[in-house]
Structure 1
Amino acid sequence: MRILVDAYWWVDGPYSNRLVLREIVGGWRSAFPDDELVLAIPSKWSDSDAELPAGVERISTRMRRHPAINAIELPLYLKSGRDFDAMFLQNFGAPTSSAAVLVHDVLFQSNPEWFTKIERLYLSAIPILAKRTGLVMTTTQHEAKRVVAHNSLSSEVAVTGLGLSTTLLTVPARKPWFGLKSHAFLLTVGRLNVRKNLENTIAAAIESGAISEHFPLVVVGQRSGRFSESGVVRSGVATGAVMFVEFAPDDELRWLYENCALFCFLSLGEGYGLPPVEAAYFGAPVLASDIPVFRENLGEAAAYVDPNDVSAISNAITDLLAPARRERGHTTLPGAEGRITGDWDFTVETIRTAIAELADST
């Protein structure tokens, strides 16, 4: 097959979206070398910036906005005589039966209060375009139910699963520069916004008495969307009990996962939620929100708590840090059926099979 791939995030974009795109393209090239993949990358990025994998072509898109590129510009290539069998798009679909779109989540529909007005306006193109796209996919069963609940689609939503970063799995761990001691810190990872529930995480960690200048809560992530530093957050930072790290490269992130005393992820909602899965894979004890998507992805590999109950979170932190609960070892993920392995085989095969069926039907 010859596939036009939406690669808007190939060079720059949200870390998780860029990771998923690159892993899918790399896995596709490895598993299906006879397929031709053509990446549609914004023209502002040079070929040297793009660093294309061997055997992958590139076209340059001219429009500025991601929704417009997918809805207007990319469909023109289907009619340009370049013999594409189908398009594979990210989040924003296209008004053609030959397109498949991977929608990462529609949390902005179920919980608009977590997003700014500008974010909601931008993301509103997702459901509008999804209804006119040949195939809609997402990464978990729970998110597929959310997509269906909030949108009238002409076909079922395919579930792709996700893998772990192959770089994260293979890079040697390296201790960060900021002076942490092994098993003497708590960790949370993810973009900083209201949905990540960081205020409750910090408040609970402080209430538990577990964190201090010598045993901090390390927060790895960049500010994104609606997020404000409350008095609780500022006091934690002022005392040294809370440490913000905007970015950690894969080698340092692996060390953090492998050496934290406890990984906390008290998000209010996720489409998938990779960080707790990564942490569990590397053997960290995980405390996660008791929400369906984490039950689906983590099974018995985490302890669960109501993310809105600060006292319950505090008690859970105390319990999980107790000496009897701190035996560490490699964590398996019950019910994952081998999907969360880092090789992306299940994800790529699911996407490729669905797109092949789509191409045959059009």
Structure 2
Amino acid sequence: MIVINSRFLTQPVTGVQRFAIELAKELRRANSEIVFLTPKNIIHNDVANELGAKVLGRTTGHLWEQVELYAYVRMKKALLISLCNTGPLFFKNQIVAIHDISYKICPEWFSKRFVFFYNLLIPQLLKVSKAIVTVSNTSKKELIEKLNVPEEKITVVYNALAPVFQKKELEKKFSGKIPIDCHYILSVSSHHPRKNFNRLVNAFKGIEKDDLKLYIIGNVNKDFKLDKKYTSKNIIYLENIADEELVYYYKFAKLFVFPSLYEGFGIPIIEALSQNTKICVSDIPVFREICGENVTYFDPLDENDIKNKILKSLDNYELFSYNLSRFSWEDGAIKVLKLIKENQS
């Protein structure tokens, strides 16, 4: 019996949940006998229906994962696939996806409670699991060097594009809010200290272009406090933008900027590339891995360099061609299915 830990159906979508949702869909198409188990507090009902997910137990969150899911898969002697950094701590017949180890690289970005919990959780999962999946060679290297995971235990499965970003011709259905006639820079990510929006905003304020706007799209979380000094009439923050509209924000942007200090992957980059949008990003290892020489890089700690590289990118009319074929959910599912075959009892 193969079980997918589908707790992601109860969580708001970030890159981690995107990975789980799209990969789960591919796994469902490839093997109809896979069972998807979820807590009762589902928020992605359409996805749950598509997967044929089954509600298990009465609890939710970590308690559900550590008690009710654990008891079920142990009783059934199932192979468990956990795709979102967490899983039952003491269940050995498990394949787990660890997207990054940001809690260890820069613990100051998180609460002490969060860091303490993940310092217990992640090493234990890495130890007991039969195989580890991660989303980039950069993350793989960190798992080997920082947490002593054997290289042969790790498989890299890249993130890829949601279906709406793969359409050759987009449906011309979008709300009047999308600034199709506006000159704007776009950044897309959930709000978190490592996303480095504060420096981006300060750099943008140094650009003397009254007709240029900065759109920052992403849901705010408790670790990010928006100070009034990071707002102005030309800086627009948006939340809860559906993919069907988000694709147009990418398409009409003059430039996409991603100033993160640390990432395991960086899905917004390939989303922007899919719409042939010019890109300006932090010079960090994982972005070099994803983008190669097809983008403009800046020092994410230097606001002046961010500003200058944005200006340089805006004045550069050369568009790079980029092959996104290596980022495929289907290929990712093939890798996971191979791991399943190798680790089934």
Same-fold status (TM-score > 0.5):
yes
Counterpart in the other structure of 1:117: 112
Equivalent of 1:130, from 110, 126, 131? 126
- Equivalent positions of 1:326-337 (< 5 A) are 326-328=317-319, 331-333=321-323
- Look up the match of 1:169: 166
Gaps of 5+ in 2: none
In structure 2, what is the Cα distance between the partners aligned to 1:87 and 1:345? Answer: 20
The letter for the 1-side match of 2:264 is G
Contact 1:42/1:61 (CA < 8 Å) preserved in 2? yes
Aligned-partner SS, 1:177: coil
- 1:38 positional shift: 1.1
Aligned to 1:8: 7
Q: Which amino acid aligns with 2:190?
A: R
User: When the two structures are superposed, what TM-score results if normalisation uses the length of structure 2?
Assistant: 0.90
- Give the number of aligned pairs: 339
- Rounded to whole Å, the distance in 2 between the matches of 1:71 and 1:175 is 42
CA displacement at 1:173 relative to structure 2: 5.2
Q: Is the Cα–Cα contact under 8 Å of residues 182 and 260 in structure 1 kept in the other structure? A: no
Alpha-carbon RMSD across the aligned residues, in angstroms, is: 2.4
- SS of 2:286's partner is helix
Secondary structure of 2:7's counterpart equals coil
1:219 to 204, 216, 226: 216
Match of 1:92 in 2: 86
- Greater shift, 69-78 or 155-164, is seen at 69-78
Q: Structure 2 CA distance, aligned partners of 1:119 and 1:209?
A: 40
Q: 1:103 to 1:9 in 2, by over 3 A?
A: same
1:11 CA displacement:
4.2
Q: Secondary structure at the match of 1:208?
A: coil
Of 270, 275, 283, the residue aligned with 2:268 is 275
Letter aligned with residue 310 of structure 2: I
CA contact (8 A) 1:260 1:284 kept: yes
Which ranges of 4 or more aligned residues in structure 1 deviate by more than 4 Å?
46-50, 173-176
Partner of 1:295: helix, strand, or coil? helix
Partner of 1:312: 305
How far has the Cα of 1:293 moved from its partner? 0.3
| Shift, 1:182, TM fit | 3.9
CA contact (8 A) 1:93 1:133 kept: no
**Alpha-carbon deviation of 1:114?**
1.5
Unaligned runs of 5+ in 1: none
Give the conservation status (yes or no) of the 8 Å contact 1:280–1:301.
no
Decide whether the 8 Å contact of 2:178 with 2:249 is kept in 1.
no
Give, as a single letter, the amino acid of the residue that structure 1 aligns with 2:204.
Answer: A
Taking only the aligned residue pairs, the percentage that are identical comes to 23
Q: How does 1:206-285 map to 2 (within 5 A)?
A: 206-210=205-209, 212=210, 214-230=211-227, 232-234=229-231, 237=232, 240-285=233-278
Which of residues 98, 103, 109 is equivalent to 1:103?
98
Cα gap change, 1:290 to 1:46, in 2 (>3 Å): closer
Structure 1 residues 4 and 321 mapped into 2: Cα distance closer, same or farther (>3 Å)? Answer: same
CA distance in 2 between counterparts of 1:102 and 1:258 reads 31
Deviations 1:280-331 (A, max 9, x none): 1211100000000001111122111100111111111111111xx13447x4
Residue 297 of structure 2 corresponds to residue 346 of structure 1:
no
Q: Which letter maps to 1:349?
A: I
